[in-house]
Amino acid sequence: MGEASKDAGLLAGVTIIDLSRVLAGPFCTMTLAHLGARVIKVEIPGTGDDSRAFGPFANGKSLYFSAINCSKESIALNLKSPDDRVIFEKLLEKADVLVENYRPGTMEKLGYGWDTLHQRYPHLIYGAASGFGDTGPISKRAAYDMVVQGMGGIMSMTGYPGQPPARVGISIGDITAGIYLSNGLCAALYKRAVSGVASKIDIAMLDCQVAILEDAVTAYDKTGEIPGPKGTRHPSIAPFQAFNAKDGMVIIAAGNDHLFSLMAGALKRPDLTTDPRFASNELRHENVDALQSELEKTLATGPVQTWLDALNAAGVPCAPINDVPHMMKEPQVAARNMIVSVNDPVAGPIKVAGNPIKVVGAAEPTTFSPPPELDADRAKILADFIGGGQ
Amino acid sequence: MGEASKDAGLLAGVTIIDLSRVLAGPFCTMTLAHLGARVIKVEIPGTGDDSRAFGPFANGKSLYFSAINCSKESIALNLKSPDDRVIFEKLLEKADVLVENYRPGTMEKLGYGWDTLHQRYPHLIYGAASGFGDTGPISKRAAYDMVVQGMGGIMSMTGYPGQPPARVGISIGDITAGIYLSNGLCAALYKRAVSGVASKIDIAMLDCQVAILEDAVTAYDKTGEIPGPKGTRHPSIAPFQAFNAKDGMVIIAAGNDHLFSLMAGALKRPDLTTDPRFASNELRHENVDALQSELEKTLATGPVQTWLDALNAAGVPCAPINDVPHMMKEPQVAARNMIVSVNDPVAGPIKVAGNPIKVVGAAEPTTFSPPPELDADRAKILADFIGGGQ
C-alpha cells in the first residue's frame, strides 16, 4: 500500500488542529491520525513540543517524540503574536477538531476558551486532556503520569504482596487519557454529523485511572476487602499466573477444570487431576501455594519454549513473558502489522507501534509519514488554509 | 439529574446488540452506554454472561458483573434455536452496531459472519474483540488477559529490577481492547453517518498491548537497550518516583530545575539545590540513589500528609499511593462524579466507576440503571423490535 492512503480511513476528510504536547494529547491525535484524520501540530516556535527534547536521540532527533508523532504535520505559531493568531484562527475556521492538553484555564488566558471558540466557530469540536479535568477542587493543579497512577489506585494493586507498590511500566495515566479522548472526539464527530452540534470533551487523567479499575470499586464497597498487589496471580482463578521454568517464566491460564486437565496432560502430571487439593478452581485457588510448588517441580526441569509448545499443542492458554525485543519477533505481531517501519529523513529508518484499530477489508498502510520536523509543513498548511504563502 | 438522560448523550439514538461476555466486549459496550447508546445484551439462556458467576457476590448477584454492566438491557436468546434466531435477526435489522468477543470463526459457524451480515444488513456496523484478532498465524488461539500481558511486553517493564516481573494489577489487556473497540466503533458510526458505509472493526488484545508501549519499540530498535522494570522510578527524570515517608510512600514528580528548587524549599532542604550531585536533571538522574537517600532522610521524619500539604502549597506535583478506599475518598474523584451509586434491586445499593468521557455543558447522570438480571428486558425489547410480545 505504501504510505497511508487516508481516503480509506474512517476519519477521512477530518482535520484536527493539535496544540498538545508530550503524551496524553499527542497519543490521542496519533490515534486519530491512524484512523485517517489530518493532524496539524501547532507548536511553539523555536522549541516545539517539549518531547522533542526527550532522549534517547538518533542523529539528534528524539525517539520519544518520533514514537508518538508519525503521520502528523507541523507548523510553528506563537499564540501570543497577533500575526500568528490570525493564522491560527484561519486554521480553526476550516478545522473540525481542536485538541489541547494545557492546564485548565490556559486557553481562556489566550482568548481561546471553549465559550469563545464555540460562539465564533460553532462547527468546531474541542478536546482537552488534563490531570484533573475542567472542574473540581484541584482542577488547576499540575499532574504527571506518576501523580495520577499514585492517586488513582492502580499502583496499590500492582507489585508483590508485602513489597512496595510498583508503577505500571508505561505511562498508563497519559495513555488511557489519550485513548478516551480520541474515543470521545469520535463520538462528538458522530454527534455533529447527525445533529450539527459541536461539543467539548473534557478528559481528566485521574478520572480515567478510576474508570479502568475493573471491579475494584464495586467489590471493595460491598465486601470491605481492599484490593492489593498479587504479583502475577489472578485474584480468584488458579492456575492463572507466571511460573518459574528452567530459563525464565511461563504463564499458564488454565481457568477451568477442563483446561486444568489438559494442562496436567501436557505437563505429564496426571497426578494433579486426582489430587484432592486441586479438585476444583475453588480448591486450587485456596491451595495456590501448593499448586505453584507442584507445577514448578515439573516446570523447573525444562525451558520455557518446551512448555509453551506442549501447552499450546494441548490448547491450554499460555505465554512467555516477552521483553520488547521478543515481543517484536512474535510472528502474530508482524502479521498484524503492529510494528511499522518509517523512513525518517533525520533519524533514518525507525520502527513504531502500529494502529490497533483494524478495519476489515481496508488497506493497512505498511508505513507512516515520518514524525515532522518543527514547522516542516508551514508552506503547505498556509496554502491549504489561507490560499497563499505568508 | 436522576437517571441517565440518554437524549443528551453523544450517541443518543444508537442501538448496540451485544453478544459479548466477561470483559473486553462488555467494557466496550459500557463505554458506549455511558456515551448514550442503547445497549442490549443478548445472553445465553440459563447462565447468561459467564461473569454472572464471578465472585464476590451480594445477595447472590455478581459484583464483578455489576461493575461492568450497568445501563444495559438483557434478553436471553439461543442462537442455535431457529425461533430465537428469528428474534435475533429482527434486532439486527433495527440495530446500528453488533459487538462480540468470541474466538474468530465462532460467528461464521453460527451463520453470522461479517460477510453474511454485511450483505444482509448493509447498515450494520460490527465490532469484534479477540485475543489475537481475525488474522495471523495464531488468530484462533484462546487468550486471556494474563496471556497478552505476558506476550505484549508490559509485564517485562513492570516491577522492581532484579525481581520477577509483576502483572499490572487490573486486566489491562481486556480493558485497553475494550476502549480501542469503543473508539473504533464511534469512528465507524461517524463514517457511516457521512458516507452510508458500515465497517467491521477487528480488535486484538495483543495488538492493543503493543500500541500502548509508549516509546519502547522505537527506543529499543535504535538503541538496543531493552526496557526493564524500574520500581516506581521514571526512566530518565529525577526525582520522579515514590519515596518512603514515616507512614507510607509519597510520590514526588519534580521534573525540572524550577520544580526541584520549589521542592527543596517545601521540604526545608535548601542544601539540595546547591549540592553539585543534583545540579541538573541529568545529574539527578545519574545520582538518583544518592538523591533518594537524601530525600528519604527528611521524608522519613514526617507523615505522608504533611509532605503532600507542603509540596502542594509550593506547587510541586506530588501524590499519595492511594489504595481503593482512599481513592474513593478523594474530593476530586467525587467532584468529577467518578463514583456512581446505583440502586440494584437484588444486590442493594452498589457503587461503580463513573464515565470518564465528560461532555462540557451536558448533564451528568448521578446514577446509572442497574446491571440487568438475565432476560429482564425481554418484553420491552420484543415490543420495540418486533412490535408485540412473543
Query: Which of these, B303, B125, B115, B253, lies nearest to B199 by C-alpha position?
Result: B125
| Average pLDDT rounded to a whole number, residues B19-27 | 97
Say yes or no for a CB contact (<8 Å) between B220 and A325: yes
Quick check: B4 pLDDT over 80?
no
Contacts of A251 in chain B (CB under 8 A): 146-147, 150
* A322 closest CB neighbour out of B156, B249, B360: B156
| Average pLDDT rounded to a whole number, residues B314-319 | 96
* A151 closest CB neighbour out of B176, B322, B359: B322
Asked if residues A236 and A286 have their Cβ atoms less than 8 Å apart, the reply is no
Q: Where are the alpha helices (DSSP H) in A55-124?
A: 63-68, 82-94, 106-109, 114-120
Measured torsion, CA atoms of residues A230, A234, A238, A243, in degrees rounded to the nearest 10: -60
What contacts A46, CB < 8 A, 6 or more positions away?
A76
Distance CA B216, CA B210 (A): 9
Looking from the CA of B70 toward its CB, the CA atoms found within 13 Å total 32
**pLDDT of amino acid A388:** 53
Asked if residues B171 and A168 have their Cβ atoms less than 8 Å apart, the reply is no
Contacts of B215 in chain A (CB under 8 A): 63-64, 66-68
Distance CA B370, CA B63 (A): 12
Q: Which of B:290-329 have CB within 8 Å of A? A: 312, 315, 317-328
User: For the domain bounded by B6-212+331-385, which CATH number is listed?
Assistant: 3.40.50.10540
- Grid coordinates 476444583 are at which residue? A280
Distance CA A96, CA A29 (A): 13
Quick check: B154 pLDDT over 80?
yes
Tens of pLDDT, residue by residue over A97-107, are: 999 999 999 99
**pLDDT of amino acid B389:** 45
Quick check: A390 pLDDT over 80?
no
Write out the catalytic residue numbers of A: 234
User: Which of A189-203, A376-390, B16-30, B252-266 is predicted least confidently?
Assistant: A376-390
Quick check: B211 pLDDT over 60?
yes
Nine-digit cell string for B99: 459487538
Q: pTM, whole model, 2 decimals?
A: 0.97
Asked if A7 reaches chain B (Cβ–Cβ under 8 Å), the answer is no
Q: Which of B:127-156 have CB within 8 Å of A? A: 132-139, 141-144, 146-148, 150-156
Quick check: A229 pLDDT over 70?
yes
Contacts of B217 in chain A (CB under 8 A): 67, 324, 328, 339, 351-353
| Average pLDDT rounded to a whole number, residues A62-80 | 98
Percent of chain A with pLDDT over 90: 93
Say yes or no for a CB contact (<8 Å) between A188 and B58: no
- Grid coordinates 527543596 are at which residue? B264
**pLDDT of amino acid B161:** 95
Do the domains B240-323 and B6-212+331-385 match in fold? no
Distance CA B133, CA B139 (A): 6
Query: Which of these, B327, B280, B165, B233, lies nearest to A145 by C-alpha position?
Result: B233
**pLDDT of amino acid B239:** 96
Tens of pLDDT, residue by residue over B73-126, are: 999 999 999 999 999 999 999 999 999 999 999 999 999 999 999 999 999 999
Tens of pLDDT, residue by residue over A298-317, are: 999 999 999 999 999 999 99
Alpha carbon of B258: minimum distance to chain A alpha carbons (Å): 14
**pLDDT of amino acid A255:** 83
Q: Where are the beta strands (DSSP E) in chain B?
A: 15-18, 38-43, 57-58, 61-62, 72-76, 97-100, 125-130, 200-204, 240-245, 248-253, 318-320, 339-344, 348-353, 358-359
Tens of pLDDT, residue by residue over B226-267, are: 999 999 998 888 999 999 999 999 999 998 999 999 999 999
Distance CA B233, CA B243 (A): 10
Per-residue pLDDT band for A236 (boundaries 50, 70, 90) equals: confident
Nearest CA in chain A to B233: A167
* A66 closest CB neighbour out of B114, B155, B218: B218
Q: Hey, where are the domains in chain B?
A: 6-212+331-385, 240-323
Tens of pLDDT, residue by residue over A313-350, are: 999 999 999 999 999 999 999 999 999 999 999 999 99
Quick check: A5 pLDDT over 50?
no
Measured torsion, CA atoms of residues B53, A287, B325, B9, in degrees rounded to the nearest 10: -30
> Residue type for A302, please?
G
What is the fold, at CATH topology level, of the domain defined by A240-323?
A: formyl-coa transferase, domain 3 (3.30.1540)
> Residue type for A31, please?
T
**pLDDT of amino acid B89:** 98
Tell me the torsion sign for CA atoms A316, A227, A215, B134.
negative
Say yes or no for a CB contact (<8 Å) between A222 and B63: yes
| Average pLDDT rounded to a whole number, residues B201-218 | 98
Say yes or no for a CB contact (<8 Å) between A358 and B215: no
Give CA separation, A87 vs A81, A90, A373, B95, in Å: 10, 5, 19, 44
Percent of chain B with pLDDT over 70: 97
Question: Which superfamily, per CATH, for A6-212+331-386?
Answer: Crotonobetainyl-coa:carnitine coa-transferase; domain 1 (3.40.50.10540)
Write out the catalytic residue numbers of B: 234
Quick check: B6 pLDDT over 80?
no
* A170 closest CB neighbour out of B142, B157, B226: B157
Quick check: A2 pLDDT over 90?
no
**pLDDT of amino acid B388:** 53
Give the ipTM of the model, two decimals please.
0.97
